[in-house]
């Protein structure tokens, strides 16, 4: 009985360590801007999907929730922080829908089973990331108004970069999915 208790404690500590590591990767991925056309890209969506692939839906959802909580309480973990504000004020700004979409994206990616089939993995990742953009565009439209070109402002400039990130992850999945926790 004592052994089972110790194993559960080790598992909790391991998962907490992995979640904190994931939030650090998310924060770093938000801060690094990679020159890309037509707009620079961050690697946040890549890391959200990677966390789903590696951690599964439970730990992935916990990790992204912890990341969002860190940002809400004022840690400068989001892209554009602290320059554009921090905490709840930043969170409820124009990017809130995308941040909420991270939860759906990591859940779906973590829920899927990946294999060595590049095309299948690619479709699953496209499906997962589409919810990040869906939530992002819905929130953005409610903020700036639906009379504005919401898709052209909130998705179109990022689609080429997103495709590039999903292609990279699709190639990497057979190598990294064996590390799924």
Sign of the dihedral defined by the CA atoms of residues 75, 81, 86, 89, in that order: negative
Range of the domain at 142: 2-179
pTM confidence score: 0.92
How far apart CA 52 and CA 59 sit, in angstroms, is 8
CA 60 from centroid of its chain's CA atoms: 9
In this predicted structure, the answer to whether residue 181 has a pLDDT above a threshold of 60 is: no
| Span 1-46, pLDDT tens digits | 676 666 677 799 999 999 999 999 999 999 998 887 666 789 999 9
| pLDDT in the model for residue 155 | 94
How many domains are there within the chain?
A: 1
Q: Convert 64-93 to b/e letters by CB count within 10 Å (16 or more is b).
A: bebbbebbbebbbbbbebeeebbbeebbeb
Phi, psi values for residue 135, rounded to 5°: -65, -40
Matching residue, tokens 């037509």: 38
Q: What is the pLDDT of residue 82?
A: 87
**pLDDT, tens digit (0-9, with 9 covering 90-100), for 48-102:** 999 999 999 999 999 999 999 999 999 999 988 888 888 999 999 999 999 999 9
SS3 labels along 155-174: CHHHHHHHHHHHHHHHHHHH
Contact 102, 57 (CB under 8 A): no
């Amino acid at each position: 009985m004592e052994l089972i208790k110790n194993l559960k404690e080790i598992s909790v500590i391991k998962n907490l360590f992995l979640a904190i590591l994931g939030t650090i990767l998310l924060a770093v991925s938000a801060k690094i801007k990679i020159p890309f056309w037509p707009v620079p890209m961050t690697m946040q969506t890549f890391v959200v999907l990677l966390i789903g692939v590696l951690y599964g839906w439970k730990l992935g959802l916990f990790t992204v929730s912890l990341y969002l909580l860190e940002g809400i309480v004022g840690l400068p973990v989001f892209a554009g922080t602290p320059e554009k504000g921090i905490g709840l004020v930043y969170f409820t700004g124009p990017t809130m829908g995308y941040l909420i979409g991270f939860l759906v994206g990591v859940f779906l990616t973590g829920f899927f089973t990946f294999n060595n089939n590049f095309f299948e993995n690619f479709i699953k990742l496209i499906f997962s990331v589409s919810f990040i953009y869906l939530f992002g565009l819905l929130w953005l439209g409610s903020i700036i108004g639906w009379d504005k070109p919401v898709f052209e402002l909130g998705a179109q400039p990022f689609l080429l970069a997103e495709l590039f990130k999903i292609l990279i992850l699709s190639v990497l999945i057979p190598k990294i999915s064996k590390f799924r926790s």
